[in-house]
Structure 1
Amino acid sequence: MTPRVITAWSAVSPFGIGREAFAAGVASGASAVTRLEEWPVPRQRVAPVPGFEVEKVLGRKGTRSMDRVSALAAAAAGELLGTNGRHREVAAGERAALVLGTTAGSSKSMMDITRDTHTRAMPFHIDTPRIPNAIMNSSAAQCAIRHDLKGPNTTVAGGRAAGLFALRYALRLLHRGRARSVLCGGAEELTPERGWLAHRAGGPDRPTALGEGCSLLLLEPAASQDRPVLAEVLGVTVGVFRDGERETGLVSCLSRALERAGVTAADLWAVSPAVGQDEVRLEPHAALTLPQEEAWGDAGAAAAPFQIASVLAAAEQDPAARGRIAAVLSADPDNVLGCALFRIANEPGSAHV
Structure 2
Amino acid sequence: MTGWATTSPYGRGAGAFADGVRSGVPAPAVRGADDWFPEPEPAHLVPDFDIEDVLGRKGTGSMDRGTALAVHTVGLLRAEVGADGRTGVVLGTTSGSTLTQFGFTADSLTRRRPYFVNPAQMPFALMNSAAARSAGWHGLTGPNTTLAAGRLSGVAVLRYAGRLLRARRASGVFAGAVEEHSGARALLEREVGNTARLGEGAAVLFLRPASNGNRSAVAEVVATGTRLAADGEVRRALVECLRQTLVGVAPDEVWGLAVSGMDTMESDAVREVLGTRIDRVVAPGRLVGDTGAVGGVFGLTGLFALAERSDDAHGRVAVATAVDRDGMVGSVVVRLLGVRGVR
The question of a shared fold, defined as TM-score above 0.5 by the shorter chain, is answered with yes
| Counterpart pick for 1:264 among 230, 250, 261 | 250
Q: What's the CA shift string for 1:299-321, capped at 9, x where partnerless? A: 01111111111111111111111
How many residue pairs match? The answer is 332
Matched, 1:131 2:126: no
| Aligned match for 1:184, one of 146, 161, 175 | 175
Q: Is 1:115 the equivalent of 2:106?
A: yes
d(CA) in 1 for partners of 2:263 and 2:233?
A: 12
Report SS of the residue matched to 1:162.
helix
- Indicate the residue corresponding to 1:274 in structure 2: 260
Deviating beyond 6 angstroms after TM superposition, the runs of 4 or more aligned structure 1 residues are: none
Distance in 1 separating the partners of 2:288 and 2:55: 23
Contact 2:259–2:296 (8 Å) recurs in 1: no
Contact in 2 for aligned 1:41/1:195 (Cα 8 Å): no
Counterparts of 1:277-292 in structure 2, within 5 Å, are: 277-279=263-265, 280-281=267-268, 282=271, 284-287=275-278, 288-292=280-284
Determine if contact 2:260/2:299 at 8 Å carries over to the other structure.
no
User: What residue identity is the alignment partner of 2:59?
Assistant: G
Question: Is residue 198 from structure 1 mapped to residue 195 from structure 2 by the alignment?
Answer: no
> Superposition pairs for residues 141-290 of structure 1, below 5 Å?
141-203=132-194, 207-222=195-210, 224=212, 227-242=215-230, 244-259=232-247, 262-279=248-265, 280-281=267-268, 282=271, 284-287=275-278, 288-290=280-282
Which residue pairs with 1:315 in the alignment? 307
Q: 1:41 to 1:121 in 2, by over 3 A?
A: closer
Contact between 2:314 and 2:336, CA under 8 Å: does it hold in 1?
yes
| Cα-to-partner distance string for 1:233-290 (whole Å, 9 max, x where unaligned) | 102111211364222222221111101xx21333211111231341523164222212
User: What is the SS of the residue equivalent to 2:205?
Assistant: strand
TM-score scaled by length of structure 2: 0.92
| Other structure's SS at 1:319 match | coil
Give the aligned partner of residue 47 of structure 2. Answer: 50
Q: 2:185 and 2:221 mapped to 1: Cα distance? A: 32
- Comparing 7-16 with 38-47, greater Cα deviation is found at 38-47
Distance across 1 between alignment mates of 2:10 and 2:201: 10
One of 1, 7, 11 as aligned partner of 1:16: 11
Aligned counterparts of 1:143 and 1:54: Cα–Cα separation in 2: 14
Cα–Cα, structure 1 residues 304 and 348, in superposed 2: closer, same or farther, change >3 Å? Answer: closer
Per-residue deviation, residues 207-249 of structure 1 (Å, max 9, x unmatched): 2111001000000111656541111110211121136422222
Point out where structure 1 has 5 or more consecutive residues left out of the alignment. Answer: 1-5
Distance 1:92 1:43 in 2: 42
Asked if 1 retains the 8 angstrom alpha-carbon contact of 2:40 and 2:183, the reply is no
Q: Residues of 2 paired with 1:298 and 1:243: CA distance?
A: 25
> What is the CA distance between 1:43 and its match in structure 2?
7.0
Task: Give 1:35 shift.
Answer: 4.2
Q: CA deviation at 1:38?
A: 5.8
The separation in 1 between residues aligned to 2:14 and 2:299, in whole angstroms, is 13
Tell whether the 8 Å contact from 2:89 to 2:175 is kept in structure 1 after alignment: yes
Where does residue 103 of structure 1 map in the other structure?
94
TM-score under structure 1 length normalisation: 0.89
What is the identity, as a one-letter code, of the residue corresponding to 2:203? S
Q: Which residue pairs with 2:285 in the alignment? A: 293
d(CA) in 2 for partners of 1:301 and 1:155? 12
**Deviation string, structure 1 residues 310-337 (Cα, Å, up to 9, x no partner):** 1111111111111110000011112212
More displaced stretch, 134-143 vs 239-248: 239-248
